Structure 1
Amino acid sequence: MRSPQNTSCSMKAETTSSFKKKYFYFQLFLFLLLQLLFTLSLLSYWYLLPQSMQNYCPPKQVAPPVTPVFIILLWTWPFNDLYSLQGLRCLGPWVREANCQITLNRTWYERAHAVIIHHREVSLMPSKQLPPEPRPTGQRWVWLSLESPSHLDNLAAMDGLFNLTMTYRTDSDIFTPYGWLRPRQEQENGSLTQPPFPKTKLVAWVVSNWNEDSTRVKYFRRLQPYLPVDVYGRNHLPLPVKNQQRVLSTYKFYLAFENSQHQDYITEKLWQNALKSWAVPVVYGPPRHNYERFLPPDAFIHVSDFKSPWELATYLMKLDADEKHYLSYFQWRKHLEVVTRPGWFQEFCKACRILLEPPTYRTLPALSKWFS
């Protein structure tokens, strides 16, 4: 016979077991109900989707396109004044489908898209110094020159070889000036209308190539008796390059006399030696109207404005004594500032931009006639 105590424990165990079974079936029912509701919701969503979305397949993962490289070979570096091109690549908002890599390595000739050739270094023996022919299909040659026609040898040998021009002339395919003016960024103030350096001397002239038979030296010889001029350069006063701008900035006027007179041939004599030094340029070169394409008319003095060197000398002496009139030659600086070419990289990147434009493959049959 069971004791009352054992009977009571047995009844409790049966009750607990019955409760667990009921709880298990309840959880199973609840799980199945939730699964049913989820399936019905998914079917409803699929039924309401547009047919195009029902057939949607995710796109395959595609690697980003590789930007092609446009190779520009510098066959000759201007004046052999070499700089490192390590890591130089021209990139910018104007580069859409390619970027340019500029190289001096001639072994890349066959795969170069364009070749830039500075005239002076190939003018002695063009047939031996120019790149080999026939050139790779589609390759364009760019003729580069910063010197005037008066100082170029064998110019006619370049006829029929080149596709684009790169010179100081505004009608070049790639315009490469010695300097230019741009709108001033900072606010206008009075200090911009007078030289920042004390002007203690009158007139300076730096001459690297003195030739008594040249027209500029002949004009100077006629001017010299009436006007004191400090002449620097070979066989004249010494002027180290590192001190040049500091010395020239002490002069009120600078003789920006070009070595020859040709369209748009306005060199560093004006941009660097005169304007960067805040000296009023007295110019001898192309006609006044040509200078006015690049400068305000009151930014310089042209020798053609005077009937004789004596009249020019008299005018400069009067300006020296009339500070107000002299300072009127700086009024344009309120709104404009002088920019000179910082180096060749900027010019090569400009060539890159133009070469990347839709190509018009042409040949210049009479380059010598055009440039002369």
Structure 2
Amino acid sequence: MARNSSTTTIAIIVFSAYIFVHVIFDYGHVFFGHKRERDITEEFMIDVSTKKIRKISAPSKKKKTAKKTTNPGKMELYHKKLIKPLTNEDKERWIKKIWETNQLESHENREEVNILWWFTNTGKSGKKREARNFDEFKDKCGPCNLVTSRSFEKTADAIVVSNTVMSHYTAPQVARRKFPDMTSRNLSQIWVFENKESGIKQEHEPRTINPEVDAAYNATMSYRTDSDITRHFGDAESVIAQLRFDADGNLVSSNEDYAKNLMKRKFPYGSEYNTAWFVSNCDYTSGARKRFAFGKEMIEKGLKLYSEGECFGHKTERQFHRGGSAEFPLQRVKFYLAFENAYHCNDYISEKFWRNSFMNELVPVVFGPHPDDVRRVAPPNSYIHSEDFDSVEDLLEYMDFLDKNDTAYLEFHKWKNLYPSGKNPHSKCLQHLGTVNRTICLLCRLIRDRRAKKSASLTNP
């Protein structure tokens, strides 16, 4: 009996010694400051000196992370605030507003108009503006021609001078590129100031155009909604037409099937990515610095982001018209960071919102434009504005809420069900002409309407 007791005691002592040695070797750093070799993991790192975010192999401590707290009730409140159910009357009103081309009276039998595009070289890209006519759009554009030869300088109905081209050059270079002749100008001609970039890009050189030339313009063409011709980067009509209808104008699928197929293409909840951002301008303008700082904060706080562009040391060939880039299919994620390089610049909402987001069937998360400006032009229940949230944490939690709730997420896509009955061939949408050609078409209409108004005033003084 005593022998058995002694054996038991020895066994307990040996087991205790084993546990003690194990604790000393494995957790000795807790008591004596010795650290075990750390694991190497993949994680986002922010290089403060270059202001770039990149994924690199970096040592990381294994530590307990606080459990993420969620507040479903608060997210439901945000959702009710952002999504406004549409009545049948609302839907009819939106259909009329969205399908702009249908509201334009025909100009097919009106007089011919020639527009001279003065700077045919479109800037740093080196692309050339090509001459064209609008015969296939004659119903809405009327007989309308875009010409590029300066032999039309004295006879064209209007001359478009692009400030965007001039902003790429210094003042002496601009002078050498030569403006239209102001000394013997055709006084019946309209000179049009054209600008596509945000005003903030010229903040460093506000006097690119001298006052005399500035005073020569009598029409404007820009992203501003108070321009004579608003140069839209996109619109709901062309998005719906191209996503929901085929080339012959037939609806491709029912609303229910469209929603079902849309979700089949998306990464499921819990995947590595739910958001994309392609950006290369990190700090050229004050707005770019603001947006990049906001984006960095989102990444630091857990945004599940796929990124491309010089800001991330990951420059690729972008192919937005084909659904993303050479490396990544944008349609697989659910959100796109439509962050502009200008902050609260009146009406500046670019292709990041219309093309990168909507055309790739993503919900844009907006930063930069004033909420009122976005609300004025966006289709209903279509986007998330960062300024509608109390904090970055709330914004991220709401995106997570949508990521795991298909029903709630799809409410941001229902606006694509707003189309009139019958055929809607997308070739007939003015926006399908492209940004520049659409504005030329509208400029032809403007010139005819101004002439008609002037003629009427002379006939009935």
Match of 2:306 in 1: 230
Contact 1:258 1:284 in 2 (8 A): yes
Give CA deviations for 1:53-77 in whole Å, capped at 9, x if unaligned. xxxxxxxxxxxxxx97533211024
Match of 1:302 in 2: 385
Give CA deviations for 1:73-118 in whole Å, capped at 9, x if unaligned. 110244453253256668634677xx33321111221222210111
**How many percent identity over aligned positions?**
27
Match of 1:73 in 2: 116
Match of 2:74 in 1: none
Give the unaligned 5+ runs of structure 1: 1-66, 362-372
Q: Number of aligned pairs? A: 294
Distance in 2 (CA, whole Å) between partners of 1:306 and 1:156 is 40
Using structure 2 for the length normalisation, give the TM-score. Answer: 0.57
> What is the deviation of 1:342?
4.1
Give the unaligned 5+ runs of structure 2: 1-109, 246-250, 268-272, 455-461
Using structure 1 for the length normalisation, give the TM-score. Answer: 0.70
Contact 1:122 1:130 in 2 (8 A): no
1:239–1:251: structure 2 CA closer, same or farther, 3 Å change rule?
farther
Give CA deviations for 1:301-355 in whole Å, capped at 9, x if unaligned. 0000112212211211222122221122112221159985543333212211111
Distance in 1 (CA, whole Å) between partners of 2:432 and 2:114 is 23
RMSD of Structure 2 on Structure 1 (CA): 3.0
Does the alignment pair 1:174 with 2:218? no
Please point out which of 248, 260, 273 is paired with 2:330.
Answer: 248
Output aligned runs, 1:1-372, within 5 Å.
69-77=112-120, 78-79=122-123, 80-85=126-131, 92-93=138-139, 99-123=143-167, 124-125=170-171, 126-128=174-176, 129-134=178-183, 135-152=185-202, 153=205, 154=207, 157=210, 159-182=214-237, 186=251, 189-194=255-260, 195=262, 198-200=265-267, 201-211=273-283, 214-226=289-301, 227-234=303-310, 235-242=312-319, 245-246=323-324, 247-261=329-343, 262-336=345-419, 342-343=433-434, 344-359=436-451
Q: Which has the larger radius of gyration?
A: 1
1:197–1:345: structure 2 CA closer, same or farther, 3 Å change rule?
farther
Distance in 1 (CA, whole Å) between partners of 2:397 and 2:156 is 57
Distance in 1 (CA, whole Å) between partners of 2:139 and 2:363 is 38
SS in 2 for 1:208: coil
Distance in 1 (CA, whole Å) between partners of 2:197 and 2:299 is 27
> What is the deviation of 1:284?
0.8
Contact 2:364 2:384 in 1 (8 A): yes
Give CA deviations for 1:128-178 in whole Å, capped at 9, x if unaligned. 432221222222100111111101343563531210001112211112201
Contact 2:336 2:357 in 1 (8 A): yes
1:69–1:324: structure 2 CA closer, same or farther, 3 Å change rule?
closer
Counterpart code for 1:206: F
SS in 2 for 1:256: strand
